[in-house]
């Protein structure tokens, strides 16, 4: 599984002022730059932001959604993070070492790293968090991200003990990880919230600590000052943060605006400083004009949008019927008429940037789709196609996508598909509990490797295995890839695994991710992480 160290260096940050922009070429401001206005400012520096929904959780071990993660990255920090040049850098850790076989990593914690209440951040906080997130009682959907750690999977699945998990505090400021197989990308993975430290006394004293601003104790650049549920969140600069001198914002004011048309109108009126990703979703009707005016930017992060099939019940327990629905989708029509951002159509699940099979595994074929549907119905003993529903989370773009899919399936297959739109929390619950026939699902990379898109389907009970699909050969290949030290051989193994996934089609890829946005020109040094998401640490809002 030796991938070398190219992963971190090949990632590209998307600054609010340059990279990933389809119509912008403004240069990035240098790290730590200070304008004369900043140097003499007397008014607090405030960023006005928005999110679509109430964050379901501020708990780094529990959160699974983008809005929660963006808030967590403001209030918490892991061993590593990203700088303005797009490089993975030490954060709460001041240094690290790894063994030549990438099976042991040791991190030294900064002695000036503190929790927002002033307590020191120690190696014990990382050990506590990881074992707590692996505890089956915690029910962390991202626990599998910790399976690279020796004994992690065994503890999480009830087959091992907490004391056998390969993470320990060598001393108060040294944390050591022992991994079950060579993992060159493990340092990059420490940037993910599931590996963030947690303040043990806070968690043990209040099971609902992550639900209110006043009880959240974090170690990031900002403190959550106000959380008016379903209305607004306010962050203020954390005076105990170890790198507070590089934090320019005094306050972040975040409005919760479910309707994207409303959010865009507020941006146009100057009430918020950002429109579109990662704050919200730009209305599709606004995109052509913004593109013509040269204002539209597109964040190009690895990710895939898809339709997930519930493989546990008819009719989508039949492979041919799943294939029929996948082959009947006219992806380019959706990209041209709805998304309008020029993103690539997806004919595989793993993004092409990760290099398994850039040309994909299938193509649209309405005639073949119709034949497969008839064969599948015959295998299930169906004379008429049953009523099925496509579920999606509510926003205007997703609604238009749903209506397009409904129309395409009717034209190509003669099938009437019902549509159901659910409020975000309900949608997520339905998805996690397999309470659907078909459901929209977009996955963005947690780290830059194909395994991140494939291992979620290793086990039927996996936290993000929404189709509840399992295949013995696929699982065997994933396990084999974990222990393959040769890069080329590992790629072939993962290619074979994705081939099985796309043959079985538990989900139908639609398009690879490309997220449009516009911004106030006064906003500088805002970071869209290489793999997606918002980071406010270096941001400034200049007069």
What CATH number is attached to the domain comprising 198? 3.90.76.10
Instruction: Give residue 126's pLDDT band: very low, low, confident or very high (50, 70, 90).
Output: very high
Mean pLDDT, residues 153-170: 97
- Residues linked to residue 226 through DSSP beta bridges, in sequence order: 234
Report if residue 327 sits inside a domain: yes
- For residues 434 and 534, membership in a common domain is answered with no
Q: What is the model's pLDDT at position 444?
A: 87
Mean pLDDT, residues 210-217: 97
Which strands form 251-256's sheet, in the order they lie side by side? 46-51, 251-256, 232-237, 222-228
Mean pLDDT, residues 499-503: 98
> Does residue 482 register a pLDDT over 60?
yes
Q: What is the model's pLDDT at position 191?
A: 95
Number of domains in the chain: 2
- For residues 503 and 537, membership in a common domain is answered with no
Predicted model pTM: 0.76
Spell out a b/e string for 274-305, using b for 16 or more CB atoms within 10 Å of the CB, else e.
bbbbbbbbbbbebbeebbeeebbbbbbbbbbb
Tokens for 526?
């805002």
Instruction: Name which of 245, 278, 283 is nearest 262 in CA terms.
Output: 283
Lowest mean pLDDT among 244-248, 353-357, 379-383: 353-357
Question: Long-range contacts made by residues 364-369, C-beta under 8 angstroms, separation at least 24?
Answer: 364/327, 364/328, 364/329, 364/330, 364/331, 365/327, 366/327, 366/328, 366/411, 366/412, 368/327, 369/323, 369/324, 369/325, 369/326, 369/327, 369/328, 369/412, 369/413
How is 254-275 classified by DSSP, letter by letter?
EEE---HHHHHHHHHTTSSSEE
Report if residue 113 sits inside a domain: yes
Q: What is the model's pLDDT at position 155?
A: 98
CA distances from 515 to 14, 160, 323 (A): 11, 41, 27
- For residues 186 and 68, membership in a common domain is answered with yes
Q: What is the model's pLDDT at position 342?
A: 87
The Cα–Cα gap between 17 and 382 comes to 56
The Cα–Cα gap between 516 and 21 comes to 9
Please report which helix (H) or strand (E) contains residue 189, including its range.
helix 186-189
Q: What is the model's pLDDT at position 543?
A: 79
- For residues 452 and 535, membership in a common domain is answered with no
With contact defined as beta carbons under 8 Å apart, do 449 and 77 qualify? Answer: no
The pLDDT > 70 percentage for the chain reads 92
- For residues 493 and 345, membership in a common domain is answered with yes
Q: What is the model's pLDDT at position 237?
A: 98
Side-chain-side CA neighbours of 349 within 13 Å: the count stands at 31
- For residues 500 and 524, membership in a common domain is answered with no
- For residues 107 and 161, membership in a common domain is answered with yes
Q: What backbone phi and psi angles, to 5 degrees, belong to 380?
A: -90, -5
> Does residue 25 register a pLDDT over 80?
no
Model confidence pLDDT, tens digit, residues 338-359: 999 889 999 999 999 887 999 9
> Does residue 194 register a pLDDT over 90?
yes
Residues of the domain holding 339? 303-513
The Cα–Cα gap between 542 and 37 comes to 7
Residues 245, 125, 171, CA angle at the centre, nearest 5°?
Answer: 95
> Does residue 494 register a pLDDT over 70?
yes
Q: What is the model's pLDDT at position 16?
A: 33
> Does residue 14 register a pLDDT over 70?
no
Residues 340, 343, 347, CA angle at the centre, nearest 5°?
Answer: 125
Instruction: Name which of 344, 294, 299 is nearest 20 in CA terms.
Output: 299
Tokens for 32?
């730590």
> Does residue 30 register a pLDDT over 50?
no
Report if residue 293 sits inside a domain: no
- For residues 487 and 418, membership in a common domain is answered with yes
The Cα–Cα gap between 78 and 145 comes to 14
- For residues 156 and 84, membership in a common domain is answered with yes
Q: What is the model's pLDDT at position 273?
A: 97
Instruction: Name which of 320, 332, 274 is nearest 299 in CA terms.
Output: 274
The Cα–Cα gap between 83 and 317 comes to 46
Report if residue 440 sits inside a domain: yes
Instruction: Name which of 112, 469, 99, 534 is nearest 306 in CA terms.
Output: 469
Residues 351, 354, 510, CA angle at the centre, nearest 5°?
Answer: 5
Lowest mean pLDDT among 38-47, 249-258, 438-447: 38-47
- For residues 206 and 321, membership in a common domain is answered with no
Instruction: Give residue 308's pLDDT band: very low, low, confident or very high (50, 70, 90).
Output: very high
Report if residue 241 sits inside a domain: no
SS3 125: helix
C-alpha torsion 133→448→357→305, nearest 10: 60
Q: Where are the beta strands (DSSP E) in 41-188?
A: 46-51, 80-82, 88-90, 93-98, 104-109, 167-171, 174-178
The Cα–Cα gap between 184 and 6 comes to 10
> Does residue 17 register a pLDDT over 70?
no
- For residues 38 and 124, membership in a common domain is answered with yes
Report if residue 282 sits inside a domain: no
- Residues linked to residue 126 through DSSP beta bridges, in sequence order: none
CATH number of the domain to which 415 belongs: 3.10.105.10
3-state secondary structure 318-381: CHHHHHHHHHCCCHHHHHHHHHCCCCCECCCCCCHHHCCCCCCCCCCCHHHHHHHHHHHHHHHC
Model confidence pLDDT, tens digit, residues 60-86: 999 998 899 999 999 999 999 999 987
SS3 493: helix
More confident residue, 2 or 118: 118
Q: What backbone phi and psi angles, to 5 degrees, belong to 408?
A: -65, -40
Report if residue 271 sits inside a domain: no
pLDDT, mean over the chain: 90
SS3 509: strand
Q: What is the model's pLDDT at position 26?
A: 29
Q: What is the model's pLDDT at position 534?
A: 94
> Looking up tokens 């209030």, which residue turns up?
75
Mean pLDDT, residues 92-99: 98
Instruction: Give residue 532's pLDDT band: very low, low, confident or very high (50, 70, 90).
Output: confident
Please state, as a whole number, how many other Cβ atoms lie within 10 Å of the Cβ of residue 387. 10
Report if residue 233 sits inside a domain: no
Lowest mean pLDDT among 8-17, 121-130, 377-386: 8-17
Q: What is the model's pLDDT at position 85?
A: 83
What residues contact 133, with CB distance under 8 A and at least 6 apart?
A: 61, 140, 142, 143, 146, 194
> Does residue 371 register a pLDDT over 60?
yes
The Cα–Cα gap between 184 and 181 comes to 10
- For residues 523 and 504, membership in a common domain is answered with no
> Does residue 41 register a pLDDT over 70?
no
The Cα–Cα gap between 333 and 340 comes to 10
């Amino acid at each position: 599984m030796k991938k070398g160290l190219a992963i971190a260096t090949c990632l590209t940050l998307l600054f609010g002022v340059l990279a990933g922009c389809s119509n912008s070429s403004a240069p990035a401001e240098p790290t730590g730059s200070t304008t004369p206005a900043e140097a003499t400012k007397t008014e607090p520096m405030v960023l006005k932001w928005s999110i679509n929904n109430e964050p379901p959780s501020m708990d780094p071990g529990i959160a699974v959604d983008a809005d929660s993660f963006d808030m967590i990255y403001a209030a918490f920090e892991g061993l590593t993070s990203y700088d303005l040049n797009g490089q993975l850098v030490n954060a709460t850790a001041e240094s690290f070492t790894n063994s030549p076989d990438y099976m042991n990593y040791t991190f030294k914690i900064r002695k000036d790293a503190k929790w927002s209440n002033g307590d020191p951040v120690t190696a014990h906080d990382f050990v506590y968090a990881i074992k707590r997130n692996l505890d089956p009682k915690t029910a962390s959907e991202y626990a599998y991200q910790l399976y690279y750690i020796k004994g992690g999977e065994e503890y999480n699945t009830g087959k091992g003990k907490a004391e056998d998990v390969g993470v320990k505090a060598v001393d108060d400021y040294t944390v050591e990880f022992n991994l079950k197989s060579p993992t060159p990308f493990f340092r990059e993975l420490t940037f993910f919230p599931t590996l963030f430290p947690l303040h043990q006394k806070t968690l043990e004293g209040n099971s609902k600590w992550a639900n209110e601003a006043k009880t959240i104790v974090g170690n990031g650049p900002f403190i959550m000052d106000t959380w008016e549920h379903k209305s607004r969140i306010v962050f203020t600069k954390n005076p105990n943060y170890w790198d507070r001198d590089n934090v320019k914002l005094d306050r972040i004011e975040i409005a919760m605006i479910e309707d994207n048309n409303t959010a865009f109108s507020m941006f146009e009126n100057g009430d918020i400083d950002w429109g579109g990703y990662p704050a919200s979703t730009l209305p599709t009707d606004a995109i052509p004009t913004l593109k013509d005016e040269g204002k539209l930017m597109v964040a190009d992060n690895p990710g895939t949008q898809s339709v997930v099939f519930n493989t546990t019940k008819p009719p989508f327990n039949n492979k041919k019927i799943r294939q029929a629905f996948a082959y009947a989708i006219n992806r380019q029509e959706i990209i041209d008429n709805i998304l309008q951002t020029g993103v690539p159509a997806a004919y595989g699940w793993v993004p092409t940037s990760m290099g398994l099979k850039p040309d994909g595994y299938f193509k649209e074929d309405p005639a073949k789709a119709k034949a497969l549907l008839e064969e599948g119905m015959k295998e299930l003993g169906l004379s008429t196609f049953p009523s099925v529903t496509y579920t999606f989370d509510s926003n205007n773009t997703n609604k238009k996508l749903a209506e397009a899919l409904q129309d395409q399936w009717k034209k190509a297959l003669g099938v009437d598909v019902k549509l159901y739109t659910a409020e975000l929390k309900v949608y997520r619950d339905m998805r996690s509990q397999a309470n659907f026939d078909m459901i929209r699902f977009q996955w963005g990379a947690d780290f830059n490797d194909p395994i991140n898109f494939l291992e979620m389907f290793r086990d039927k009970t996996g936290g993000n295995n929404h189709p509840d699909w399992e295949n013995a050969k696929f699982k065997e290949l994933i396990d084999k890839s974990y222990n393959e030290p040769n890069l080329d051989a590992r790629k072939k193994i993962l290619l074979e695994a994705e081939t099985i996934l796309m043959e079985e089609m538990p989900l139908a890829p639609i398009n690879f991710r490309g997220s449009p946005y516009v911004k106030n020109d006064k906003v500088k040094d805002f970071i869209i992480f290489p793999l997606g998401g918002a980071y406010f640490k270096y941001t400034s809002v200049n007069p």
